[in-house]
Structure 1
Amino acid sequence: MILNCAEELILLSIDDQTNYFYRITNINFNVALIGALLMDLALRKRIDVDLEGIYVLSTEPTGDKFLDAILENLIETEAGNQPAVLVGQLYNSMGHLKDKLLQDLEEKGIIKVSQCKVLWLFKKRRYPVIDQKEEEEVLSRIRKTVLTDVDPEPRDLALIALLNICNLMDKIFTQEELEQCSERLEQLKKLDLISPAVKRIIGEMQVLITTTYTT
């Protein structure tokens, strides 16, 4: 089953031990998910990004409802708007994006959204992964890219960049692994396998994910 980058990011953000999302502070996760979808569109050569704005290269649908929703939004939006402005518009138009992606993953039979009570009083949602094939596949790809000398795929480099921005790398790797592969991580950052468009999205996300954080 082919998942988009945002769905893969969600699977990597769920703690398999507790079935809750990892605790991520000072991060607007919905903005991170929009960034993941924009990266996916850039990887599929549907959009381009430069210092002036985000531009549609192809209006051909991807077949993914979340990617196509963003693509349609960008088609209707005036070309050349600053990336930060467009991300803000997407953030407002695609409210509760995380919940919608979780619902989609549940409909695909990958996770189950359930509620439990904390201290017998407060309701809290849990997200047990019931079909681990997709989660294990993306986790294996990311770990293999970082821990071995395999030639990295642009998609995985984009995901690693997002994981770094969201402070999730230490959830996927032990501290010892991160120390041992520090040179490899620096090497991956310098590779030219990611298109300029994706690099610009990463740069925008580094700022927007923290500056739009609200408690």
Structure 2
Amino acid sequence: MLTIPEELLLLALNDDKGTVVFSAGSSLNYGLAGAALAELTIEERIGLEDKKVVVIDETPTGNKVNDAVLQQVIEARKPKSVKRWVQSMNYRMGQWRKDMLRDLVDKGVLEEKEQKILWVFSRNTYPTERDVPEQQIRQRVHASIFGDQKPDARTAMLLSLIKACNLINEVFSTREKKEAKKRIDQISKNNDYGDAVKVSIDAMQTAVIAACAAAAASSGGNGGGGGA
């Protein structure tokens, strides 16, 4: 099973070019940071106390990026708000994003290619190698919006991050996007997915989306471009 950050990253990549779509350029790293915090909350490694992120369980998850984020929280001198964590992790997310891409390559989901720029510079791109995982994500998301499938905590968080990272147009068709935005807001507000740690997840979801929106806005539209 892919993590929330991995799912968000897949949706943000152009399948053929293997680079991040332009609309998500300034917000994706913030969204990935929030996604990692949300994943750790669902896995009951962290929670919120007085609106600050606290460690509940220091046991590693087995995922390189999520464990790196968890370690950051463990080693923090004092508790921080979700907004502070999203902002501070943005500066390390570039490397963590590369780690996620390599993991997806290792899983056979993406292919790594070297692309020459002006015949002098080069960069790695990550076009889709096997599209089944992403199609399954898209089907789950669509079923939660337009079908009878009740979203679980992971899907509800992913939906909120799709909107926060300006990926609505990438995931939904022109005729779907207006209703999708409306339904995502309803899901975020009602939090009707149910979970053993529902209170903490609800609070984290609200905080993550607000933090991602504020951080992306303060970036002034810079901070990601079209690179992978």
Q: How many residues align?
A: 214
Q: Is the 8 A contact 1:52 1:80 kept in 2?
A: no
Aligned to 1:207: 214
When structure 1 is superposed on structure 2, of 86-95 and 49-58 the one drifting more is 86-95
Contact 2:52 2:80 in 1 (8 A): yes
Residue in structure 2 matched with residue 19 of structure 1 by the alignment = 18
Q: Relative to structure 2, which stretch is displaced further, 171-180 or 124-133?
A: 124-133
2:7 is matched with which residue?
Answer: 8
2:213 & 2:6 partners in 1: Cα distance?
19
Give the AA of the match of 1:210: A
Alpha carbons of 1:197 and 1:77: their partners in 2 closer, same or farther (altered >3 Å)? Answer: same
- Cα shift at 1:51: 5.2
Q: 1:135 to 1:159 in 2, by over 3 A?
A: same
Gapped regions of structure 2 (runs ≥ 5): 194-200, 224-228
Contact 2:172/2:180, CA 8 A, preserved across alignment = no
| Letter aligned with residue 218 of structure 2 | T
Query: What residue is the counterpart of 2:69 in the other structure?
Result: 70
Change over 3 Å in CA distance of 1:210–1:59 after alignment to 2: same
Matches of 1:88 and 1:19, distance apart in 2: 26
Q: Larger relative contact order (C-alpha < 8 A, sep ≥ 6)? A: 2
Residues 14 and 20, structure 2, Cα contact 8 Å, conserved in 1: yes
Please state how far the C-alpha of 1:40 moved relative to its aligned partner: 0.5
- Distance in 2 (alpha carbons) for counterparts of 1:207 and 1:190: 18
Give the Cα–Cα distance (whole angstroms) in 2 for the partners of residues 95 and 118 of structure 1. Answer: 20
- The reply on whether 1:57 has 2:65 as its aligned counterpart is no
What is the TM-score normalised by the length of structure 1? Answer: 0.86
TM score, norm. by length of structure 2: 0.82
User: After superposition, what is the alpha-carbon deviation per residue over 1:141-179, rounded to whole angstroms, capped at 9, x for unaligned?
Assistant: 111111213211111110111110111011111110123
Per-residue deviation, 1:196: 1.7
What secondary structure does 2:114 align onto? strand
* Cα distance in 2 between the residues matched to 1:89 and 1:200: 15
CA shift, 1:181, in A, is 4.5
CA distance in 1, matches of 2:151, 2:185: 13
Give the deviation of 1:12 after TM superposition: 0.6
For the aligned residue pairs, the C-alpha RMSD in angstroms reads 2.4
Residue in structure 2 matched with residue 104 of structure 1 by the alignment: 103
State, as a whole percentage, how many aligned pairs show the same letter: 26
Read off the aligned partner of 1:214 and give its amino acid letter.
N
Does the Cα contact within 8 Å between 1:50 and 1:197 map onto a contact in 2? no
Partner AA of 2:129 in structure 1: I
- 1:159-174 matched pairs, under 5 angstroms: 159-174=158-173
Query: Structure 1, unaligned stretches of length 5 or more?
Result: none
> Counterparts of 1:170-185 in structure 2 under 5 Å?
170-181=169-180, 183-185=182-184
What is the alpha-carbon distance in structure 2 between the residues aligned to residue 183 and residue 89 of structure 1? 31
